[in-house]
Amino acid sequence: MNLTLKVWRQSGPSDSGRMVKYRVEEVSPDMSFLEMLDVLNERLILEGDDPIAFDHDCREGICGMCGMVINGVAHGEQVATTTCQLHMRHFEDGATITIEPWRAAPFPVVKDLVVDRSAFDRIIQAGGFVSVPAGSAPDAHSLPVRKEDADSAFDAATCIGCGACVAACPNGSASLFTAAKITHLSLLPQGQPERLSRAKAMVDQMDAEGFGGCTNTGECTAVCPKGIPLDTIAQMNSDYLKANAK
Amino acid sequence: MAVTGAVMVLFLVGHMLGNLKIFISRDSFNDYATALRTLLEPLAPYRTLLTIVEVVLAVSVVLHIWAAISLSRRAHAARPVKYAAKKSQAGGYATHIMRYGGVTIVLFLVWHLLDLTFGVVNPKGPVSTPADRMIAGFDPSRWWMTLIYLVAVVMVGLHLRHGIWSAFQTLGWANRNRYKALRTGAALVSAVLVIGFLAPPLAITFGVVK
Amino acid sequence: MKYAEGSPIQDTKAPEGPIEDRWEKRKFAAKLVNPANKRKLNVIVVGTGLAGGSAAATLGELGYNVKSFCYQDTPRRAHSIAAQGGINAAKNYRGDGDSVYRLFYDTVKGGDFRSRESNVYRLAQVSVNIIDQAVAQGVPFAREYGGLLDTRSFGGAQVSRTFYARGQTGQQLLLGAYQALERQVAAGTVEMFTRHEMLDLIIDNGRARGVIVRDMVTGEIERHVADAVVLATGGYGNVFFLSTNAKGCNTTAIWRAHERGAYFANPCYTQIHPTCIPVSGEYQSKLTLMSESLRNDGRVWVPLRKGDDRLPGDIPDDERDYYLERIYPAFGNLVPRDIASRAAKNVCDEGRGVGPGGLGVYLDFRDAIGRLGRDAVEKKYGNLFEMYERITGENPYDQPMRIYPAVHYTMGGLWVDYDLQSTIPGLFVIGEANFSDHGANRLGASALMQGLADGYFVLPTTLGDYLAAGPFGEVNEEAVAEAEAKVTSRIERLLAVNGTRTPDSFHRELGRLMWDYCGMERTEESLRKALERIPELRAEFWANVKVSGANEELNQVLEKAGRVADFFDLAELMCLDALVRSESCGGHFRAESQDADGEALRDDEHFAHVSAWEHSPEGEPVLHKEPLEYDYVKMSQRSYK
Ligand SMILES: Cc1cc2nc3c(=O)[nH]c(=O)nc-3n(C[C@H](O)[C@H](O)[C@H](O)COP(=O)(O)OP(=O)(O)OC[C@H]3O[C@@H](n4cnc5c(N)ncnc54)[C@H](O)[C@@H]3O)c2cc1C
Ligand code: HEM
Ligand code: HEM
Ligand code: SF4
Ligand code: F3S
Ligand code: FES
């Protein structure tokens, strides 16, 4: 198949950036989206052009490194799929595809489609952990956990930190990401001692990073490749309000 | 946001019930308006309760709008560069309806107060009974007025269809087992409010209530 | 390629005496660092996977000044995140007869008697603490209705000792370590450097004293000095270009350390995983693993007849060859990884492979669906089936999956002693980057165990013993400048070539060559061919590679070129090691060394040793042998028939 790509090119943080058009020919429907870009990049290198910079690593949907807004949708329209797991068979021959980076002030563009997501690390630093020094843990069976709680905690814990939720949110909110971690730890007995202080610290950090506020529009969960459920945000709000009431 | 929204919702429910009294009779409606002002009277001066309600309401409206504006400003700051292409995956309905719908509601509110509370733009003028103002206001010849109310009330309904559910989420009372119930509940309450509010003006315009 | 034989080496750090007391003894003998001194001691940890992440967090917690590096944009993305199946631990929660000793025994045997008994025993002992630690951190392991941890059996073990978190065990364990690490970052004990690639090691006075790194965003070459350096940079399976490893996995860090004097042990030991999604075309950039657990219910087959291109559903049972069940009636579809992989290769070599290029075999769930019902199969494997469909566009409920072996893990790595210290004092190597513990073949669910054992429990003790003699004072400026100049000139050289081939095209060609000549089956002839061809290809690379852009920017082509350049050198050593080891063992199958049935034939008389290679800048590599002795597990030939 043959395609036209409109790709955001920006040489660095100080460049203002623009959309650039490329033709790619003889794309195989079995290619992944990133492989299609690889092919284009090989050509650009040989033509002496700057290849399109994009983040990726595992290419199997788990590391959370890849991510671009494809035709207006974070990670593309395929449901519950990261960019690296998206395949060209979902596009039509002759189509024009628009590719842009995650857009959010706390995710400044580093180059082309690569953005800086270190704000997420700082949110975790604020409290996204259980304080337990190595070697001091009690036997794993000393605290049984209800299977339902363990399962729900797991659902929240599968967040890969890709940032698609922020990219999709009309408010540029990082609520789903932050809520996923808060919920994961809130549902487990191990997370209880620091539960409220954690929620407060993480939400405050999220706000300090410049992410927008959540108005419950649900765009985030719709694009989340791991389907992090919306009730994590309710859980976060509940813990946060309780923390503030104290 | 959720708390101020909730205060307004409660007011609306009361307000709607009050408005429905017009179906019983003009006097019943006027009595209700009077009662609002004279309730608790021996204990407290005329209009005490109503004033409290008004103050709480005014504060709520202001805080609610203030919160809405600050949320919007944060959202703009969080996304300084817009997408060239953007496609909503959740319908995009909530964002538009809350922001633009909210503004529509405010404009309506100003108009509405001038009309039925202060009577400034009402044919009967300020010195008249509420029922008179209302029946005159929605006279069939003033069908456009009814239309304004219709649009506004539908906007309120849409705002609340998302708003009521959203308030539960914001207060952390929602979870995946309750989502369906909450959404249905929100839609139901909104629908009841829309119908309840629209019944009197429509009835008047179409001559059912005179 | 020639090599010289050097003096044998002996790992003397493991205490003598009964195996179960050795680690206790070593811990007790290790010198302690005065808490007030810890603040003054600087440690560099390169890599933030299970090994590096857990090590940096623990060292920070202990009070050292830690600098942590990774090439991704956040430590949470280290390749460990991709591990699916689970982590072993001798908890014996099921009471099914498991014990530290049994885990030790299985691992030594699984490693085909090419690992150290003392190390493996310690690994089994520490495995128990790992689960406690992870659970306390909030790792959401699978649980049973009673609220206790669930386990499953894995990779040939007869007991159920594998703890898991759905198909995302590596992710959940890594996030636990990542959170512990970020906690230390917040506490100020760990300074984190993301998007920083280590390009050389600084050695002063014979000790490892720091690293030269490139800031991958600005291109700035930075120097970081410390009292000790820990490498936790993962495996080098990407030398094959196509592997289940993440795209960024590389050998650069350990290779540069090797060039600075660290011995490289058993480079040829590579694990090929039997159940991966086959290559679909030339453009393919990586391979995806399908969990081994699928072999519990799926049946592996190919058409009986060569070139049978009917749809799988149209081939009647008597024209199918369920070759694993045929050749290995006792274990059937559940034979260990190396055996299943080689059998698949054999039938494909016979021309009976299926799918594009004939490189694939069927993994068929028809009978399982018939027996258990579609719902039951979906419950067990639904997410894997979905992943398969996403990638191939084929629905495995209706037609069999196609699978093929792929490079998955490298047992080889930098040589370390019982303390995990390399042959360079002050350079410690942990996780997949070292060679320890797995011998010639790693058992499923043991890599996660090793990485965390190293990082949380072993290294913090043994590194303290080394650091107790520190701080080691200022680092000689000349040593730093020399390393820095070397890095800079190499980058300049890469940028200056300005040829006509991309780094990826070289990598692809090298990978193909390695797969053909040093892959699942190696022969003297193929290895000699490879050893001839690699230097030619390397020369072409340095004469004709095209690296666009400049150093002073985010330049992914430059990053790639540097890694590929190191893969050439490593590939050569791998082939040499494979050539010298003329026996078959574990993941290393030499066609010349097989029994009458075509099974791997070990040669304990000549090869019961670790091959540790010393780099010599001009001359030929020097081979040092570390003899392996087995006092507890009796050496025997593996059989799965
Ligand atoms: C698909 C797959 C599934 C697996 N499943 C299992 C399983 O179920 N059970 C099991 O036990 N094992 C499994 N394994 C193996 C296991 O995941 C790995 O062996 C293990 O995670 C390696 O951990 P590590 O910490 O040593 O290295 P990694 O996790 O690979 O981390 C390497 C780190 O080093 C950094 N780094 C590398 N080079 C440089 C450099 N030059 N400069 C700076 N930083 C650098 C990287 O940024 C990264 O942080 C699986 C492996 C794969 C590929
Ligand atoms: C004056 C104009 C108004 C504007 C600009 C406005 C705007 C908004 C906005 C932007 C939201 C955020 C969406 C969210 O948080 O979910 C919101 C929520 C809400 N609004 Fe309004 N609104 C207005 C009037 C009203 C009125 C009159 C009512 C009730 C009668 C109301 C009830 C609510 C409720 C219940 C919510 C949900 C609160 C929450 O989720 O926290 N709003 N409004
Ligand atoms: C079509 C439906 C409506 C009708 C017929 C109606 C009618 C009236 C009347 C008659 C009054 C004057 C009462 C009095 O002075 O005692 C009034 C007051 C008011 N109405 Fe409405 N109304 C309608 C819808 C709404 C809506 C949708 C809102 C809010 C968004 C609203 C908000 C108010 C407010 C704030 C007051 C002032 C209350 C006070 O002074 O205390 N009304 N309405
Ligand atoms: S919540 Fe979903 S979209 Fe957001 S970072 Fe996590 S995985 Fe990505
Ligand atoms: S899209 Fe944004 S508004 Fe809230 S529900 Fe998700 S964070
Ligand atoms: S590259 Fe890892 S999730 Fe896409």
Profile chain C (641 residues) by mean pLDDT over runs of 10 residues. Answer: 92 91 96 93 98 98 97 98 93 94 94 96 97 97 93 78 92 98 98 98 97 98 98 98 97 98 98 93 92 88 93 94 93 85 93 92 95 88 88 93 96 98 98 96 94 98 96 96 98 97 97 96 97 98 97 97 98 98 95 90 96 92 96 86 74
Question: Searching chain A, which residue's CA lies closest to the CA of residue C165?
Answer: A154
The pLDDT assigned to C155 comes to 63
Compute the distance between CA of residue B14 and CA of residue C609 in angstroms, rounded to an integer: 87
| C354 and C481, same domain (yes or no) | no
User: In the prediction, which pLDDT does A136 show?
Assistant: 85
Closest approach of A212 to chain C, Cα-based (Å)? 22
Contact list in B for residue A233 (CB cut-off 8 A) is 169
**DSSP 8-state assignment for residue B41:** T
Q: Which ligand is nearest to the CA of A225?
A: 4
b/e map C555-581, b = 16+ CB within 10 Å:
bbbbbbbbbbbbbbbbbbbbbbbbbbb
Note down the domain range covering C599: 477-604
Distance CA B143, CA A41 (A): 64
Using CB atoms within 10 Å of the CB of residue C174, give its burial: 0 to 12 exposed, 13 to 18 middle, 19+ buried.
buried
Distance from CA of C359 to the nearest CA of A (A): 16
Q: Is-catalytic flag, C337? A: yes
State pTM to two decimals.
Answer: 0.96
Is A59 near ligand 6, meaning CB less than 6 Å away? yes
Q: Which ligand is nearest to the CA of A64?
A: 6
CATH code at C543? 1.20.58.100
Contact (CB<8Å) A71/B176:
no
Q: Which of C114, C116, C207, C337 is catalytic?
A: C337
Q: Give the C-alpha separation, C50 to B178, whole Å.
A: 38
Six-digit token string for C253: 């860090």
Q: Please state whether the peptide bond connecting residue A229 to the residue before it is cis, i.e. omega within 30 degrees of 0.
A: no
3-state secondary structure (DSSP) of residue A211: coil
Q: How far is the CA of A153 from the centre of ligand 4 (A)?
A: 15
Hey, is the C-beta of A155 within 8 angstroms of any chain B C-beta? Answer: no
> Could you tell me the domains of chain A?
3-111 (3.10.20.30), 117-133+143-245 (1.10.1060.10)
Q: B134 with B200: CB under 8 angstroms?
A: yes
- Of A173, A219, A241, nearest to B89 by CB-CB distance is A219
If you average pLDDT over residues B119-142, what whole number do you get? 86
Please tell me which of the candidates B89, B168, B173 has its beta carbon nearest to residue A223: B89
Q: Which of residues 44-73 of B touch A (CB under 8 A)?
A: 71
Measure CB to CB from residue A234 to each of B71, B78, B169 and give the nearest one: B169
DSSP H helices in chain A: 33-46, 118-125, 147-157, 164-168, 175-186, 195-208, 219-223, 231-245
Whole-number Å distance between alpha carbons of C70 and C76: 10
Q: What is the pLDDT of residue C597?
A: 83
What is the tens place of the pLDDT at every residue in B150-185? Answer: 999 999 999 999 999 999 999 999 988 899 999 999
How many residues appear in chain C? Answer: 641
Task: Give CA angle at C48 (C42, C52), nearest 5°.
Answer: 60
**Token pair belonging to A233:** 């945000």
- Find the CB nearest A231 among B86, B90, B174: B174
Q: Is the CB of B98 under 6 A from ligand 2?
A: yes
Q: Order of strands, edge to edge, in the sheet holding C413-414?
A: C4-5, C622-627, C609-614, C264-265, C413-414
Residue C279 within any structural domain of the chain: yes
Q: Is C184 domain-assigned?
A: no
Backbone dihedral angles phi then psi of residue C211, each to the nearest 5 degrees: -140, 155
pLDDT digits over A188-221, tens only?
999 999 999 999 999 999 999 999 999 999 999 9
Identify whether C339 is part of a domain: yes
Cβ contacts of C203 within 8 Å, gap of 6 or more: C209, C260, C261, C424, C479, C483
Contact (Cβ atoms closer than 8 angstroms) between residue C53 and residue C75: yes
Hey, is the C-beta of A101 within 8 angstroms of any chain B C-beta?
no
Residue C164 domain-assigned (yes or no)? no
Chains that touch C (3 or more CB pairs under 8 A): A
Q: What share of chain B is helix, strand, coil (3-state, %, to 5)?
A: 75, 0, 25
Minimal C-alpha gap between B72 and chain A (Å): 7
Give the CB-side neighbour count of residue B50, counting CA atoms within 13 A. 14
What subunits make at least 3 CB pairs under 8 angstroms with A? B, C
- Which of A40, A77, A116, A130 to probe by mutation at the C interface, max C CB count within 10 Å? A130
d(CA B62, CA B42): 32
What residues flank ligand 1, with Cβ below 6 Å? Answer: C 46-52, 69-72, 78-80, 82-87, 169-170, 197-198, 232-235, 244-245, 249-250, 252-253, 289, 408-409, 431-433, 445-448, 451
Determine the longest span between alpha carbons in chain C, in angstroms.
75
Locus of tokens 């992440």: C53
Q: Is B3 on the interface with A (CB under 8 A)?
A: no
Which amino acid appears at position C283 of this protein? Answer: Y
Q: Are A41 and A51 in contact (CB under 8 A)?
A: yes
Residues C400 and C488 in one domain: no
Please check whether residue C519 lies inside any domain of the structure: yes
Chain B: touching chains (3 or more CB pairs < 8 Å):
A
Look at chain C and report how many structural domains it folds into. 2
- What is the average per-residue pLDDT within A74-90? 96
Nearest of A39, A139, B194, B51 to residue C508 by alpha carbon: A39
- Residue C52 · residue C455 · CB < 8 Å: yes
Q: Is B53 exposed, middle or buried (0-12, 13-18, 19+ CB in 10 A)?
A: middle
| Residue partners of B155: CB distance under 8 A and separation at least 6 | B97, B101, B104, B105, B108
Q: Same domain, yes or no, for C278 and C404? A: yes
Quick one: tokens of A100? 């842009």
CB distance C570 to C526 below 8 Å: no
CA pair distance A236, C141, nearest whole angstrom = 22
Query: Which residue in A128, A93, A95, A105 sits closest to A205, CA to CA?
Result: A128
Query: Does residue C576 lie within any of the structural domains?
Result: yes
Higher pLDDT, A109 or B28: A109
Q: Is the CB of A32 under 6 A from ligand 6?
A: no
The letter for the amino acid at C397 is Y
Residue A109 has φ and ψ, to the nearest 5°, of -70, 130
Instruction: Output the pLDDT for position C184.
Output: 98
Q: Between the CA of residue C5 and those of C269, C358, C580, what are the distances in Å?
A: 20, 42, 11
> Which is nearest to B133 in space by CA: B113, B150, B116?
B116
CA of B166 to the centre of ligand 2 (A): 9
Task: Read off the tokens for A80.
Answer: 């519950």
For residue C620, being part of any structural domain is answered with: no
CA proximity to C348, closest of C519, C131, C479: C519
Residues of B in contact with A106 (CB under 8 A): 78
> What ipTM describes this predicted complex?
0.95
- Give the closest residue to C265 by CA, choosing from C628, C637, C19: C628
Strand positions, DSSP E, C151-206: 151-152, 162-163, 190-193, 196-204
How many CA atoms lie within 13 Å of C592's alpha carbon, on the beta-carbon side? 13
Residue of B nearest to A98 (CA): B85
Q: Kindly report the average pLDDT of chain B as a whole number.
A: 91
- How far apart (Å, rounded) are the C-alpha atoms in residues C198 and C208? 14
How far is CA A199 from each of CA A233, A241, B74, C620, rounded to the nearest angstrom? 11, 9, 21, 59
CA of A221 to the centre of ligand 4 (A): 8
What CA–CA distance (Å, rounded) separates C429 from C451?
11
